[in-house]
Structure 1
Amino acid sequence: MGRYVARRLLQMIPVFLGSTLLIFLMMYALPGDPVRALMGDQAHDPSVVASIRKDLGLDLPLWQQYFNYISGLFQGDFGTEIVSKRPVADIISAAFPVTIRLTLFAFVFTVLVGIGLGVIAGLRPDTLQDRGLLTLTLILISMPSFVLGFLMQYLFAFKLGITEPNVTDSTNFGELLLPAIVLGSLSLAYVARLTRTSMAENLRADYMRTAVAKGLPRRRIVGIHLMRNSLIPVVTFLGTDIGNLMTGAIVTEGIFNVQGVGNAIYEALFRREGATVVGIASLIVLVYLATSLLVDLLYAVLDPRIRYA
């Protein structure tokens, strides 16, 4: 197990470097100049612009700029914004916890409700519950997140008055409930359908008929034999879905005015602040890599036949 984890950690290094390099190149390819954005609409002397670019290291070759950025990143230095002169680490420390809190709330909602609905439908295939789940998931999958967000906001905030339309306190889980439901709705639909399909398929497996023939209690048959084998594909999806929720939170945060990474990335892209975008994206890549490793390790917990040499 230890050798497998060490090998996976070594494999993460080129993936991380390749991802950050790609994002860095994309930011470099965007139109506009952050130095001229710093000077605003006022007339600027080309020699002054060139001097500022030299001070910021923007006159260096692209490969050297990336090398300098990565070197600082491994030392905990995310750089400094050009326009605001604010350290990127301060921006991330203020915005990232908000998005993490919203993402975890949406993830818990997805796991509990999605797997619960999938289990109910999977144990009773081709029944009213099963058809109802199919209809609900089709609606959620076909509806864009911004449409669902404005619809939920209109119903629960403006019509019913149950909650506030915008989030004013990101530490208040009551205010984050509605954005978390909107954020996790699409993932909930996939998790519910995947759980339902996996359980319905495993119900017809030979090992299930053997367990029933041996006279095992139904609770043990469903809870141990059926659930553990059926959750393997669900865990695979949930592992990658954490990163999807974090990137999907950008739209949800815009709808409900949540001051997370979505707002930070939007403002950074508008001002062409590459250090902020690459810094936030680097953390999201790390979350993807960590969750993928965790999912692989959970396979051995769910299925004792899986062993890592």
Structure 2
Amino acid sequence: MFSYVVRKLLYAVPVIWGVVTIVFILMAIVPGDPARLMMGQRGDPETLARIRADLGLDLPIHKQYVRFLKDLARGDLGVSYRNNEKVVDALMTRFGATLKLAFWAMILASILGILAGIISAVKQYSIFDYSAMFIAISGISAPVFWVGLLLLLIFAYTLHLIPGVGYVPGDWRYFILPVITLGVRPAALIARLTRSCMLEVMTQDYIRTARAKGLHERAVVMRHALKNALIPVVTIVGTEVADLLSGAVLTETIFAWPGVGRLAVEALVARDFPMIRGTVIFMAVIFLVANLIVDISYGFIDPRIRYD
């Protein structure tokens, strides 16, 4: 197990380097003068030249790249052009809100998706099966921004049952609409995948053997079928967790949620290049960590899987 984790971490190094390099090149070729963005149109040439020198923008592009890699190796992602805040500090401040939102959205999606998938597979071609799969297809097809705006319109502005936008730590009412909005699509994906995997597993010989031995149907489904059907489900759950943690850009923007996704949107609007680079690199690391956790979890779900 340890050697496998080490290998995966070593494989991640060139991936991170590739992401860092691409992001740096894109930010370097994007039109616009960061010094002019910081000072506005009132900046005099001497001040602009001094700011460019402080930021290292007067250096050749290859020296800027080497300087950027050295700073990154020290955990320094630069300073925001917009508010002179360290990018790392901004990411750590916003990540807590995004983590809470993604955690509860994934819990909701996993519970609803797995339960709906199991019941649909056990009661194949029933009214519940048709209804659940229709809702799942609708959830996959509906854009996130449409779901969020619809929930706001109904529950916040029409019925006045739930606060519309904003974030108040400790007040669960502000979590309801963003969590539902963010959890709709992964719940639909998990439901459809769980159903298809369960239907495939339920036709295997060992399931028929378990039933022939007189085991209760619940034991057959939960103890034998579900455990073997969870490998693909865990894969999609891990991928969706990475998607949620890496920003939930639309959801956070709609509900004015102070997370990493909204920070990325604000940075793009303000052309804050260090913040854009930082958020992209941060999202890439989140994806790699989530995939590593998913790979490791396979061995705990199915003991037949080895990492040697």
TM-score per shorter chain, which class?
A: over 0.9
Which structure 1 residue ranges, 4+ long, deviate > 3 Å from structure 2?
A: none
Query: SS where residue 62 of structure 2 aligns?
Result: helix
Q: Which residue of structure 2 aligns with residue 147 of structure 1? A: 146
Whole-Å separation in 2 of the counterparts to 1:184 and 1:63: 43
Q: Which residue of structure 1 aligns with residue 226 of structure 2? A: 227
Q: Which amino acid aligns with 1:9?
A: L
Distance 1:174 1:139, change over 3 A: same
> Within the alignment, does 1:37 sit opposite 2:37 as a pair?
yes
Q: Which amino acid aligns with 1:63?
A: H
> Within the alignment, does 1:299 sit opposite 2:298 as a pair?
yes
Q: Which residue of structure 1 aligns with residue 7 of structure 2? A: 7
Whole-Å separation in 2 of the counterparts to 1:286 and 1:108: 22
Deviation at 1:82, TM superposition (A): 2.6
Query: Any conservation in 1 of the 2:239–2:291 contact (CA below 8 Å)?
Result: yes
Deviation string, structure 1 residues 21-51 (Cα, Å, up to 9, x no partner):
2222222232222211112122642x54333
> Within the alignment, does 1:187 sit opposite 2:186 as a pair?
yes
Q: Which amino acid aligns with 2:110?
A: V
Deviation at 1:251, TM superposition (A): 0.6
How many pairs were matched up? 308
Superposed counterparts of 1:248-267, under 5 Å: 249-267=248-266
Deviation string, structure 1 residues 221-266 (Cα, Å, up to 9, x no partner):
1122101111110101111111211345111111111111122212
Bigger Cα displacement from structure 2, 88-97 vs 112-121: 88-97
Whole-Å separation in 2 of the counterparts to 1:186 and 1:226: 25
Superposed counterparts of 1:12-23, under 5 Å: 12-23=12-23
Deviation string, structure 1 residues 127-168 (Cα, Å, up to 9, x no partner):
111100111012112211111111001111112211011123
Query: Any conservation in 1 of the 2:81–2:273 contact (CA below 8 Å)?
Result: no
Superposed counterparts of 1:202-281, under 5 Å: 202-247=201-246, 249-281=248-280
Which blocks of at least 5 consecutive residues in structure 1 are unaligned? none
Q: Which residue of structure 1 aligns with residue 157 of structure 2? A: 158
Query: Any conservation in 2 of the 1:170–1:258 contact (CA below 8 Å)?
Result: no
Whole-Å separation in 2 of the counterparts to 1:159 and 1:270: 31
Q: Which residue of structure 1 aligns with residue 27 of structure 2? A: 27
Query: Any conservation in 2 of the 1:134–1:193 contact (CA below 8 Å)?
Result: yes
Which blocks of at least 5 consecutive residues in structure 2 are unaligned? none
Whole-Å separation in 1 of the counterparts to 2:96 and 2:71: 22
Bigger Cα displacement from structure 2, 110-119 vs 169-178: 169-178
Q: Which amino acid aligns with 2:252?
A: E
Superposition RMSD on alpha carbons, in Å?
A: 1.7
Whole-Å separation in 2 of the counterparts to 1:93 and 1:138: 36
Whole-Å separation in 1 of the counterparts to 2:238 and 2:201: 22
Deviation at 1:105, TM superposition (A): 1.3
Q: Which residue of structure 2 aligns with residue 95 of structure 1? A: 94
Q: Which amino acid aligns with 1:52?
A: I
Whole-Å separation in 1 of the counterparts to 2:24 and 2:234: 31
Whole-Å separation in 2 of the counterparts to 1:237 and 1:202: 18
Q: Which amino acid aligns with 1:302?
A: I
Bigger Cα displacement from structure 2, 76-85 vs 230-239: 76-85
Query: Any conservation in 1 of the 2:87–2:275 contact (CA below 8 Å)?
Result: yes
Whole-Å separation in 1 of the counterparts to 2:44 and 2:170: 44
